[in-house]
Structure 1
Amino acid sequence: MANRFPQCIERLERQAIEAGVSSQTAGEVLAGAEYLERVIELDRRQPEFTTTFADYLNRRVNSDRVSRGRKLLDQHEELLERVTRKTGVPAPYLVAFWGLETNFGSYFGKMSVPSSLATLACDERRSQFFTEQLIAALRIVDEGAIPAEQMEGSWAGAMGHVQFMPTVFLRHAVDGDGDGKRDLWNSLPDAMMSAGHFLQDLGWNGDYRWGREVLLPAEFDYSLADGRKLPLEQWRTLGVTDAFGNKLANEPIEAALVVPAGHRGPAFLAYKNFNVIMGWNRSEFYAIAVGHLADRI
């Protein structure tokens, strides 16, 4: 594919300009885009799909991350409370997303976002999706959020403290510090307010948690773990308890049973906010990790 990359870049430049990107931005940024073989390699082995649930959770929710999350929760209390008041998303969840996405801002990724997205847009596997992301990234450069040469992120083009994809940035990022720019790299207020705004737009319900770990009775019918949502009262009737063996709360809420490691592994009841987290990242492993980390923080 590398030998076809120059011709693909010419096509992408035309598409970007047709989509409303300035010809100057499209020409200058794409002229500097490079084909990155490493990006293709990483695209073929994403951790949510190549590791066990236990390994995934233990790597991402550990005592060090919990301890640091608690310290940052206190350190940024005023900012996080402001985000919660405005969006309804509790502070521990904001910190949990931050922790899982960039280890609390310690690593944004070192890949050139334009080069990564151009590489993936020229790959047949998900060309349409990444072409859309590339054009969105060029629009972000056009609006002056960040110079193209400073636009670094993950191999897939996710950017900033909370690793927004470019289309998510355009639709949901906000100016949280009042300087007139949406800067998810250098402004924590922008990043946290944008994260809360995104989750709010996805339908976050501030009255309830994400879900909870539960214990299932012997001889439980695992066919119920098929995505169906039942009232908590019905799960109680089926003998499901919380992780400590206590009866489930009698709340007017529906939940789906999730068993990410099969019938021998842990079980969880997922509430509506679990689906909201899945709107951020379509991985059950990720959604459980966010909820578990938020609980521990």
Structure 2
Amino acid sequence: MIKRVLLAIVWVSLSQVSMADEAALPSEQGFFEYVNQIKQEARAAGYSEETLEKAFAEAKFYQRSIKADKNQPEFKLTLDTYLPRAVPEWKSKKAIELYNEHRELLEKIGAEYGVQPRFIVALWGIETNFGGYTGGFDVVSALTTMAYEGRREEFFKKQLWHALTIIEEGHIDVAQMKGSWAGAMGQTQFMPSSFMSYAVDYDGDGRKDIWGSLGDVFASAANYLKSVGWRDDVTWGRQVQLPVDFDQELAGLKVKKSLAEWQQLGIRRLDGTDLPQRDDIEAAVVIPDDEKGRVYLAYANYDALMRWNRSHYFVAAVGYLSDRIRFPR
């Protein structure tokens, strides 16, 4: 009986917190007034009336976007439990199948941009399950909602202006401009600013179509990586083992040393053998969890992937999937 009373008290308390959180969320009431304000600013910035009418004709207030932004989960996983979820066996097999299916196109793009095709496929797989899930949110509405919420208004307004430019340039119809709750778009999950900087019209149809054209999708991903310092003569990194007396102050992406220097400090491959003998590679020691978990030597391409998504777990998942493509079991 006492247990049930305590549970009831906890439930009521949580309900009150939940209702308080709900009350604190911006409402739909002022959203459309904000849309009118945004349209006025866009007109002043030179966007055409036709673009604005198309972009905001079906404007929606996405309370789900605001809730998702305020309640992003904190990771309670370790890499050892996260990687099997992010890269299950079926995804590895599908990655290999799609790599082989599109090998000619991937190798052509990889050679042109200096990016190993396996990484293009790995990014494609981790971001959107190879284009299977790109998000169902109207991008203009999602960005407008996030700007209206106010916590990062300037950032999301900047993204919104880029989205309007994408529409005005005719790259995608508004009805097909779908993405995540935060406005990440297409099979590459580019934010509109990344689209403007890195998207490529590879198939030459006059549109940069990261939603439907695999040539544009693959080339845009490769162009992004090339632009942020990708090297096609090295891999992303490797899992290693640390000596028992390793100085934890040396861990982190800011500390770069040659492989020979890390070798002298006692770091070895995971199987205990020596590190590669290459003088042209500098690396950092990355410990995403703690010294008891996975430890990586991170090469320049690790840094490039961190530019795509500043999450060690994301980079590890992309790297792991790329290795599965390279070394199928």
Question: Fold-level match, TM-score > 0.5?
Answer: yes
Residues 189-230 of structure 1 deviation map (CA, whole Å, 9 limit, x = unaligned): 111011111111111111111111111112322221133111
What is the alpha-carbon distance in structure 1 between the residues aligned to residue 224 and residue 243 of structure 2? 37
Counterparts of 1:116-155 in structure 2 under 5 Å?
A: 116-155=142-181
Out of 189, 198, 203, which is 2:215 matched to? 189
Offset of residue 119 of structure 1? 0.6
8 Å contact from structure 1 (residues 112, 153) kept in 2: yes
Distance 1:104 1:288, change over 3 A: same
Distance 1:272 1:148, change over 3 A: same
Aligned to 2:77: 52
Task: Output the amino acid matched with 1:279.
Answer: R
Q: Report the RMSD for the aligned CA atoms in angstroms.
A: 1.5
What is the alpha-carbon distance in structure 2 between the residues aligned to residue 284 and residue 19 of structure 1? 38
Offset of residue 15 of structure 1? 2.5
Task: Output the amino acid matched with 2:288.
Answer: P
Out of 303, 306, 309, which is 1:275 matched to? 303
In the TM superposition, structure 1's runs of 4+ consecutive aligned residues that sit over 6 Å from their partners are none
Segments of 5+ residues of structure 2 without an aligned counterpart are 1-25
Counterparts of 1:248-267 in structure 2 under 5 Å?
A: 248-252=275-279, 253-267=281-295
Task: Output the amino acid matched with 2:136.
Answer: K
8 Å contact from structure 1 (residues 217, 240) kept in 2: yes
Distance 1:240 1:45, change over 3 A: farther
Task: Output the amino acid matched with 2:110.
Answer: T
Residues 28-72 of structure 1 deviation map (CA, whole Å, 9 limit, x = unaligned): 42242111111112123445x434233432211221111110111
Task: Output the amino acid matched with 2:315.
Answer: A
What is the alpha-carbon distance in structure 2 between the residues aligned to residue 137 and residue 268 of structure 1? 37
Distance 1:42 1:166, change over 3 A: same
Segments of 5+ residues of structure 1 without an aligned counterpart are none
Out of 291, 309, 314, which is 1:286 matched to? 314
Counterparts of 1:170-185 in structure 2 under 5 Å?
A: 170-185=196-211
Offset of residue 84 of structure 1? 0.7
Residue 241 of structure 1 pairs with residue 279 of structure 2: no
8 Å contact from structure 1 (residues 13, 27) kept in 2: no
* TM value normalised by structure 2: 0.86
* TM value normalised by structure 1: 0.95
Residues 232-290 of structure 1 deviation map (CA, whole Å, 9 limit, x = unaligned): 11110111111111100121211111111112211001111111111111111111111
Counterparts of 1:1-297 in structure 2 under 5 Å?
A: 1-2=26-27, 3-46=29-72, 49-54=74-79, 55-227=81-253, 228-252=255-279, 253-297=281-325
Task: Output the amino acid matched with 2:75.
Answer: T
What is the alpha-carbon distance in structure 2 between the residues aligned to residue 266 and residue 241 of structure 1? 13
**What percent identity do the matched residue pairs reach?**
43
Q: Secondary structure at the match of 2:257?
A: strand
What is the alpha-carbon distance in structure 2 between the residues aligned to residue 51 and residue 29 of structure 1? 39
Offset of residue 76 of structure 1? 0.2
Offset of residue 184 of structure 1? 1.1
